[in-house]
Structure 1
Amino acid sequence: MTYRSHFIALPVVVGILALTGCKDNATQEEDAPLRPVRITAATNSPVDFQHRFAGTTVSASTTNLSFQVSGTIESFPAKAGTRLRAGDVIATLVDDDLQLALNKNEALLEQAVTNAKASTSRYQRMKELHTKQLISEMDYDVAKADYQVGLAKIDQAQQAVDLSQQQVQYATLRTSEEHCSVTQTYVTENENVSAGQMIAVMSCGNVMEVKANISEATVSSLRIGQPVEAIISAAQSQPVDAHISEIGLNTGSNGTYFVTAQVDTRNTKLRPGMAAELLISRDFLVNNDSLWVPMNTVNESNGQRYVMTFEPEDGNRGIVRKVAIETGKFVAGSIEITHGLVEGQKVITAGLNQIYDGQEVLMLVEDNRS
């Protein structure tokens, strides 16, 4: 009787241990972190068909600033990044010598006017006497000549005054447009500058351009007005529409050409000097009914090709689904999907050897294709 009780009790103990072990395993699986995966989206054209060229943003209206007269910088209130409106002072020169020249020319003008008044009065008297034939023709001609010389000296003195006033105005550099800013400066206060020497660069308006170095293999296929895309990472991550506005004629030592693309929309967040990229599409015959994914997302089992897709559930969580596909051509790291996917469907690109159909996973940051 005792032995029989032991035999009955043994399976019960084993069952309890088994149940306890299953419970522990289930708890471990629930507590285990979700496996992270990276994804991309199936698109109707392969992203690899776009050339990407690094560049920087510049204002579509950029001016190199300089004084029209020589002198010493007295003040430079417009620092780099300062917002300016029409009429604001950018920089000034010490204008003491210019003011002295103006005062001198104004004095000469005043003297010329005084002399002209005297010669005019004499000419009027001589003219009356000449009409009455009381003076000789020679005396009349001399009076008339003095009168005309007096008027000419006034004109000459007035021109000198106007020029001096202009020189004084040239000693103050002002903005002539709205919504401008100084993007770069080359001189400081108390520094001597010559006429025409560049002291700063000013950009105006919200229309931006992207300047990039384009390879000679690509630049030959570009044309003015050609639509392209630009990515300005500091302002937004999505590409914006742009068009080619300038194509360089000369190449540098590295065999590249400067190409400028003007952004089609105004954006107050954009500033000159931001890092940017130009996306230039290559010509390729693409079937609009097909989709494209990176080649590394496609696997094969028993002669059937498939991809692992991400089916979103809650936030970044989702379920892995194994989807059979049919493929077409291979081009530049991408493969054409002729059947099995829909546009925008999320395909897993990393961690494929560690996931399975129906597994719950965690999506990492999507790449630029999605």
Structure 2
Amino acid sequence: MKTRLLIGLLLSLLLLNACSKKASQEEEMLRPVRYQAVVAVSDGQQPRIFPGVAQPGLESVLSFKVAGTIREIPVNVGDAVQKGQMIATLDGTDYQLQLQQVQAQLDQLQAKAANVKAEYDRIQDLYAEKVVSQSQLDEAQAAYESTMASIRALQQQVDLAQTQLSYTEISAPFDGTVAAVNVEIKENVQPGYPIVTLEGQAPPEVAVDIPETVISSIQAGDEVSVRFEAIAEKTFPGIITEVGVATSRRATTYPVTITLQEQTSQIHPGMVADVVFPVNSPSTPGAFLVPSQAVMEDDQGRFVYRLQPAEDETAVTERVNVQVGQYTDRGIEITEGLQEGDLIVTAGVSRIEDQMKVRLLDTKE
């Protein structure tokens, strides 16, 4: 009897210990999140910030001016090339034959022209001695002029054939790096088809779309600050070099180009950037300011994750759709969806789901 009681007690202790370990493991597996309280936007002027995309400062898409079959591409993506270096060639056999044919015709006609010229000179001398008639002189002159006209026409054909033959080769227009190779050996291509994309050694640019309410306050030559999501620890100075005068077709925004003031290998085409413009605009009354990384967007619109905290330093997430206002250098204004004091997730938002239990990190961690 005592043995049975002892065994039962041991089993109860083991079960209790297992449950405790499981609960502890579940707590350890909770995803940690950083958070902050929502604060109202203070009154005053706010610099404006708009998203942009990095693009090469100097880029050229190289193509052939004649049709043909790719014979050679002696470069690969990432290769550094120098101005004048061979980039690609076509099979120039047909163009070479065409040149040889018209050149042979020209040589024959030039040989004939020598005889025609000699005959014309002879008739002129005889005419001066009144041995031949005016009609004979006119006939000799017409033959000579016709031959010379034919020579000029054939010379143009030779020049054209030489030009077309030269078009079977592409060379680098400047020092740079091969960004893309779009064809393979023995592939047939048409004139203008993109063969190789070459990026030059120039400071990168950032393309930004500016709304009509702000474009009048922006001018070429203005200095801006540029931050990249992939290079969070650094801010790059830039200068506005181009301000578009026509809106894009789908929105009332104007294209603006920023040229960065330093050349760096850290920035690659397609990188997403935030550009801070020295354009002060009044804060939106009743808006709240949140970090830009706290706001996500999907097919249902923009949203943040609000936290419902518990007493054990955990919380449950709640997806909240929001309306955004201005983009500033301190974050994004939220005009609808939040209240002052709400706690929102500010880091790792892309790994969070609605109604997920998470562990709250100390804001000092």
Q: Report if TM-score (shorter chain) is over 0.5.
A: yes
One-letter amino acid matched to 1:181? T
Instruction: Tell me what 2:124 maps to.
Output: 127
Alignment correspondent of 1:109? 106
Q: What amino acid maps onto 2:134 in structure 1? A: E
Q: CA deviation at 1:217?
A: 5.0
Residues 1:202 and 2:198 are matched in the alignment: yes
Superposed CA deviations along residues 64-107 of structure 1, whole A, max 9, x for unmatched, are: 32211111222222333221211111211121111111111111
* Deviation of 1:123 (Å): 1.0
- Shift in alpha-carbon separation, 1:75–1:232, aligned structure 2, 3 A: farther
Partner residue in 2 for 1:246: 242
2:58–2:201: 8 Å Cα contact kept in structure 1? yes
* Residue 144 of structure 1: how far off its partner (Å): 1.4
Match of 1:283 in 2: 280
> How far off is 1:122 after superposition?
0.9
Q: Take 2:329 and 2:129, find their aligned partners in 1: how far apart are those partners?
A: 105
Deviation of 1:168 (Å): 0.6
Q: What is the percentage of aligned positions where both structures have the same residue?
A: 28
Partner of 1:92: helix, strand, or coil? strand
After TM superposition, list the pairs within 5 Å mapping 1:132-151 onto structure 2.
Answer: 132-151=129-148
SS of the residue aligned with 2:203?
A: strand
Query: Which sections of structure 1, spanning at least 5 residues, go unmatched?
Result: 1-45, 286-293, 296-330, 335-352, 356-362, 365-370
Query: Structure 1 residues 77 and 256 mapped into 2: Cα distance closer, same or farther (>3 Å)?
Result: farther
> Normalising to structure 1: TM-score of the pair?
0.58
Question: Hey, what does 1:228 align to over in structure 2?
Answer: 224
**Partner amino acid for 1:123?**
Y
Would the alpha carbon gap of residues 147 and 243 (structure 1) be closer, same or farther in structure 2, given more than 3 Å must change? same
Q: How far apart are 1:137 and its partner, in Å? A: 1.1
Say what the alpha-carbon RMSD is for the aligned residues. Answer: 3.8
Any idea what SS the aligned residue of 1:207 has? Answer: coil
Number of the residue aligned with 1:319: none
1:226–1:198 CA distance, 2 compared to 1 (3 A): same
Aligned-partner residue type, residue 231 of structure 1: R
Q: How far apart are the structure 1 equivalents of 2:185 and 2:249?
A: 35
- For the structure 1 residues 354 and 210, does the alpha-carbon distance in structure 2 shift closer, same or farther, using more than 3 Å as the test? closer
Equivalent-residue separation in structure 1 for 2:163 and 2:329 (angstroms): 63
TM-score (norm 2): 0.59
Q: In structure 2, what is the equivalent of residue 153 of structure 1?
A: 150
* Corresponding position of 2:348: none
Alpha-carbon distance in 2 for matches of 1:354, 1:212: 37
1:203-235: CA deviations, max 9, x gaps? 223232112344555445433332211235667
Kept in 2: contact 1:223–1:244 (CA 8 A): yes
Task: Choose which of 51, 70, 74 in structure 1 pairs with 2:71.
Answer: 74
Question: Counterparts of 1:1-370 in structure 2 under 5 Å?
Answer: 49-177=46-174, 179-215=175-211, 218-219=214-215, 221-232=217-228, 237-248=233-244, 249-251=246-248, 253=250, 257-267=254-264, 270-283=267-280
Tell me: CA distance 1:123–1:197, structure 2 relative to 1, closer, same or farther (3 Å). same
- Counterparts of 1:143 and 1:130 in 2: how far apart (Å)? 11
- Secondary structure of 1:86's aligned partner: coil
Amino acid across the alignment from 2:207: K
Query: Counterparts of 1:163 and 1:354 in 2: how far apart (Å)?
Result: 76
Give the Cα separation in 1 of the matches to 2:107 and 2:249.
Answer: 59
Counterpart code for 1:185: V
In the other structure, the counterpart of 1:340 is: none
Deviation at 1:257, TM superposition (A): 4.8
1:59–1:205: 8 Å Cα contact kept in structure 2? no
Equivalent AA in structure 1 for residue 223 of structure 2: P
